[in-house]
């Protein structure tokens, strides 16, 4: 197994294990000591997405790191996606096997002055207006244009269409479970 394959396996295993552990115990999974070294060395923003079939079942994350390392970030955000996404009821242990988990590890955001520097397949966006902030991951099914991407991210933040926004872009390393 290559280093990249081992890293991917550890990332998706850790997210699933974190959710299962929390659903069984009500506590966060202590970070295991046997993971790929990169999970202990790096600090990055992480989004965890849960799908049941093709339908979203939960998605929560951080665009800037909040924890000591990637492993802790994955544990916290996996549990949040399963339990705290306000759009969905909490995931149950019984339905966990029906879910597919993907983990997006974000690059640091960079401000964009020209929308021509955006591409909804390659870059996610963060839009800000005052204290309001919305984020949309890249390569989302059905989002084909930069305008759609900005509109959706703005709507998520409660930013009106006419409000001026500051836009940031980021890339992701996306790791999906193989089912």
Which DSSP symbol is given to 63? Answer: S
- Are residues 128 and 66 both part of a single domain? no
**pLDDT at residue number 179:** 67
8-state DSSP, 57: E
Give the integer Cα–Cα distance in Å for 90 and 22. Answer: 12
Find the domain containing 75 and state its range: 3-106
- Spell out, as residue ranges, where the chain has pLDDT lower than 50: none
- The verdict on residue 177 lying in a domain is no
Q: Is residue 61 part of a domain?
A: yes
127 C-beta neighbours (distance < 10 Å), count: 24
The total domain count for the chain is 2
* Same domain assignment for residues 157 and 91: no
Q: What is the CATH number of the domain that holds 117?
A: 3.30.1490.150
Six token digits for residue 110: 């960079």
Q: Are strands 124-129 and 166-170 parallel, antiparallel or unpaired?
A: antiparallel
Question: Phi and psi of 48, rounded to 5°?
Answer: -115, 125
d(CA 144, CA 166): 21
Q: Please indicate, yes or no, whether residues 47 and 129 belong to a single structural domain of this protein.
A: no
The residue among 75, 106, 137 that closes a domain is 106
- Euclidean distance between CA atoms 3 and 92, whole angstroms: 33
Closest by CA position to 82, among listed 55, 102, 57 = 57
Q: According to the model, what pLDDT value does residue 1 have? A: 81
Asked if the structure places residue 19 within a domain, the reply is yes
Are 15 and 89 found together in one domain?
yes
Same domain for 76 and 25: yes
Are 96 and 129 part of one and the same domain?
Answer: no
- The pTM for the full model equals 0.93
- The Cα–Cα gap between 110 and 129 comes to 16
Beta-bridge partner residues of 48: 60, 103
pLDDT of residue 178: 80
Same domain flag for 66 and 133: no
CATH of the domain at 94: 3.30.700.20
């Amino acid at each position: 197994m290559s280093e990249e394959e081992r890293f991917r396996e550890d990332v998706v295993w850790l997210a699933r294990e974190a959710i299962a552990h929390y659903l069984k115990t009500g506590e966060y999974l202590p970070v295991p000591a046997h993971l790929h070294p990169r999970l202990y060395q790096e600090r990055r923003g992480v989004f965890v997405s849960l799908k049941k079939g093709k339908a979203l079942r939960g998605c929560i994350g951080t665009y800037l790191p909040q924890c000591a390392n990637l492993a802790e970030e994955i544990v916290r955000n996996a549990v949040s996606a399963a339990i705290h996404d306000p759009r969905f009821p909490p995931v149950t242990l019984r339905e966990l096997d029906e879910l597919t988990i993907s983990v997006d590890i974000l690059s640091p955001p960079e401000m964009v002055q020209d929308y021509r520097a955006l591409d909804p397949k390659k870059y996610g966006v963060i839009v800000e207006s005052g204290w309001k902030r919305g984020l949309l991951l890249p390569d989302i099914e059905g989002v084909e244009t930069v305008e759609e991407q900005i509109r959706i991210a703005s709507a998520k933040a409660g930013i009106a269409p006419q409000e001026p926004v500051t836009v940031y872009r980021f890339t992701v390393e996306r790791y999906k479970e193989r089912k």
